[in-house]
Each structure stands twice: as structure tokens, then as C-alpha cells.
């Protein structure tokens, strides 16, 4: 049975796993992402790969999902949340490990996982959204990635008379700005939702604004791409028990589902891309 090495590179953490053809995760490690330096970033990725000992598993390819703009040839134009540009990750890893390397946007590979084998597998089309450090998305139709839309988190939305990139006021990091705009003490996203769960009046106004923003975002996607289902994943979904039912009540015309692979969607998607999408 063939194995591949999957990298799920985020603005906060890097996860590396060996995955087999049945999409079983054989080994996985996680490290905090080094930001602000291409050299240190590339060295860290190699260090994580070496730590997982890919030669022991006889991996046939490396597939990386990254949080930014990737060209058709795998060259990374920018990783905004890691604060680096023009990153030759594919070339660097191929030169070092002498096996094929595939690099795609992280929302795309996670969308592939959910569209092929996850929460969207029984639907003709699914739109995957990751709500994490930033916000990304990908459309999958008939088990194939379609019109790439992973920059959708940068769509401008109106909030209180001003326009903001959506992820700047609604993502895990963006919630901080949303709280600041509401004039309440800034908290990490998970602590914000803890206060919402305890009915803390200080934060309920910002929470209802966040729900309205997310609902407007879902409606925009529903009209623009007409997916049969919208699948949600990412770090913010760790608090979904607080807000998921509220989002469903506000969007009764849209099928919303939690990602089946949850936090593993990026890893499973990277493996799917190697095993299924790459011919």
C-alpha cells in the first residue's frame, strides 16, 4: 500500500502526517508555525518532515496545503498570515527529498477531502469554508475542485458603514478587531465564545454582529456558487457548540454541515490530492 506525507500549514500551526491509501493517519506531529522569515520557514518544514521519518514509511510523494496564493506550478506567491512572500517550497522540498511534491492552497485541499470523502461526499456540489486564523473556501463539484475561490476571505463586507476584508472581522484573528470595534475588551476567539456561552452581556452584542456577518457571508456564497451544502471547518469550529445552532436558525435555506474530518480535513485533503486528483 502506498503512503504519502501530508502537510497542513497554517498561520498558527504546522501539522505533518503520513497517510495511507485508505486515508488512515499513520503518524502525525504538530509544531507552532515560524513566521516572518522564508529561510526559517523552509528549515522548519524540513525539520518537521525529518522528525516524522518519511523513509520509514516509504512515502511516494509530499503534498502541502498552505494558507495563501499558489501558482499553477506550485510556487507560493504569498502567505499573508505567515508574513512571507515568494516561497519556493515545492522546489526546495523536491531538491531535498527527491520525490514529487505538490503544493496547493489549504482551503482547496481541505475542500477536496470533504467533497470526496467527507461531509459533502453525498452531494453533487459542496462549498468548503475554513474559519481559522483567516478564512478560505473552495468549491467541489462531482468530486472535482472547481473555480478556485480560496481568496474569498478577502471579500469586502460592510460593517457599521465601513468596508473590511471579511476575515479581518470574522475569522479567529478577526474577532479581535470585531471586539475592538464594539468597544469591549479584546479576547482570543475561544475565550470570546466561552463568554457568549455564559451569557455575558458585555459580549452578546458583538456575538450577534458576528452571527449576522457569517450569515451574510453564507448567503453570498449560496447565491454566487449555488452549492448543495456548505461545509464548515477550522479552529473556530472548536467552539461550534456555542454558535452552530444559531447559524442554522439564521440560514434555514442553506444546508450547513460540520466537516467530517474536522481538524484533520487539511491533512486528509492533501492525501486525497496526491492519491485522487493528481494523475
Query: Looking at per-residue confidence, does 274 or 237 come out higher?
Result: 237
Average pLDDT (263-276) is 88
Neighbours of 271 (CB within 10 A): 30
pLDDT computed for residue 237 by the predictor: 94
Q: Give, in degrees to the nearest 5, the angle at Cα 11 between 6 and 15.
A: 25
Please provide residue 132's backbone torsions phi and psi, each rounded to the nearest 5 degrees. -140, -135
Residue 230's nearest CA partner among 244, 241, 212 is: 244
Q: Is the pLDDT of residue 278 over 80?
A: no
CB 138 within 8 A of CB 145: yes
pLDDT computed for residue 195 by the predictor: 98
Q: pTM for this structure? A: 0.82
All cell numbers assigned to 85: 512572500
Name the β-bridge partners of 19. 4, 25
CB 65 within 8 A of CB 74: no
Cα separation, 245 vs 251, whole angstroms:
10
Distances (CA, A) of 278 to 130, 247, 258: 23, 36, 26
pLDDT computed for residue 150 by the predictor: 61
Share of the chain above pLDDT 90, in %: 81
DSSP 92: H
Q: Is the pLDDT of residue 4 over 60?
A: yes
What H or E segment, with its residue span, contains residue 276? Answer: none
86: confidence class by pLDDT, cuts 50, 70, 90: very high
pLDDT computed for residue 40 by the predictor: 97
What domains can you pick out in the chain, each with its CATH number? 3-110+265-277 (3.30.420.40), 122-258 (3.30.420.40)
Please provide residue 248's backbone torsions phi and psi, each rounded to the nearest 5 degrees. -65, -40
CB 257 within 8 A of CB 232: yes
Q: How many CA atoms lie within 13 A of 157 on its CB side?
A: 25
Cα of 62 vs its chain's centroid, Å: 18
CB 72 within 8 A of CB 92: no
Cα separation, 53 vs 28, whole angstroms:
11
Query: Looking at per-residue confidence, does 150 or 97 come out higher?
Result: 97
Cα separation, 28 vs 65, whole angstroms:
15
pLDDT digits (tens, 9 = 90+) for 191-232: 999 999 999 999 999 999 999 999 999 999 999 999 999 999
What H or E segment, with its residue span, contains residue 73? Answer: none
Cα of 181 vs its chain's centroid, Å: 25
pLDDT computed for residue 12 by the predictor: 87
Give the pairing type, strands 229-233 and 256-258.
parallel
The interaxial angle of helices 174-181 and 201-225, nearest 10 deg, is 120
All cell numbers assigned to 274: 496526491
pLDDT computed for residue 69 by the predictor: 87
pLDDT digits (tens, 9 = 90+) for 141-172: 998 888 666 679 999 999 999 999 999 999 99
Cα separation, 112 vs 109, whole angstroms:
5
Q: Give, in degrees to the nearest 5, the angle at Cα 62 between 126 and 64.
A: 45
pLDDT computed for residue 163 by the predictor: 97
pLDDT computed for residue 148 by the predictor: 60
Amino acid at each position: 500500500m502506498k503512503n504519502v506525507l501530508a502537510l497542513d500549514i497554517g498561520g498558527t500551526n504546522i501539522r505533518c502526517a503520513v497517510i495511507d491509501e485508505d486515508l488512515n493517519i499513520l503518524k502525525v506531529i504538530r509544531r507552532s508555525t515560524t513566521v516572518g522569515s522564508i529561510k526559517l520557514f523552509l528549515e522548519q518544514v524540513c525539520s518537521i518532515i525529518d522528525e516524522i521519518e518519511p523513509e520509514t514509511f516509504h512515502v511516494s510523494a509530499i503534498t502541502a496545503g498552505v494558507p495563501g496564493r499558489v501558482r499553477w506550478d506550485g510556487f507560493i506567491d504569498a502567505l499573508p498570515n505567515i508574513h512571507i512572500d515568494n516561497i519556493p517550497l515545492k522546489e526546495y522540498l523536491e531538491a531535498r527529498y527527491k520525490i514529487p511534491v505538490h503544493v496547493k492552497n489549504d482551503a482547496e485541499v481541505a475542500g477536496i477531502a470533504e467533497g470526496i470523502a467527507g461531509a459533502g461526499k453525498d452531494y453533487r456540489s459542496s462549498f468548503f469554508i475554513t474559519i481559522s486564523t483567516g478564512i478560505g473556501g473552495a468549491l467541489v463539484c462531482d468530486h472535482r475542485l472547481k473555480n478556485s475561490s480560496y481568496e474569498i476571505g478577502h471579500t469586502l463586507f460592510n460593517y457599521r458603514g465601513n468596508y473590511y476584508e471579511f476575515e479581518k472581522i470574522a475569522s479567529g484573528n478577526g474577532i479581535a478587531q470585531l471586539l475592538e470595534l464594539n468597544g469591549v475588551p479584546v479576547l482570543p476567539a475561544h475565550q470570546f465564545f466561552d463568554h457568549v456561552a455564559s451569557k455575558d452581556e458585555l459580549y452578546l452584542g458583538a456575538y450577534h454582529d458576528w452571527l449576522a456577518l457569517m450569515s451574510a457571508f453564507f448567503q453570498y456564497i449560496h447565491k454566487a456558487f449555488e452549492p448543495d451544502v456548505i461545509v464548515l471547518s477550522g479552529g473556530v469550529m472548536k467552539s461550534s457548540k456555542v454558535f452552530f445552532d444559531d447559524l442554522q436558525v439564521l440560514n434555514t435555506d442553506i444546508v450547513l454541515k460540520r466537516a467530517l474530518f474536522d481538524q484533520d480535513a487539511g491533512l486528509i485533503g492533501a492525501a486525497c490530492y496526491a492519491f485522487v486528483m493528481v494523475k
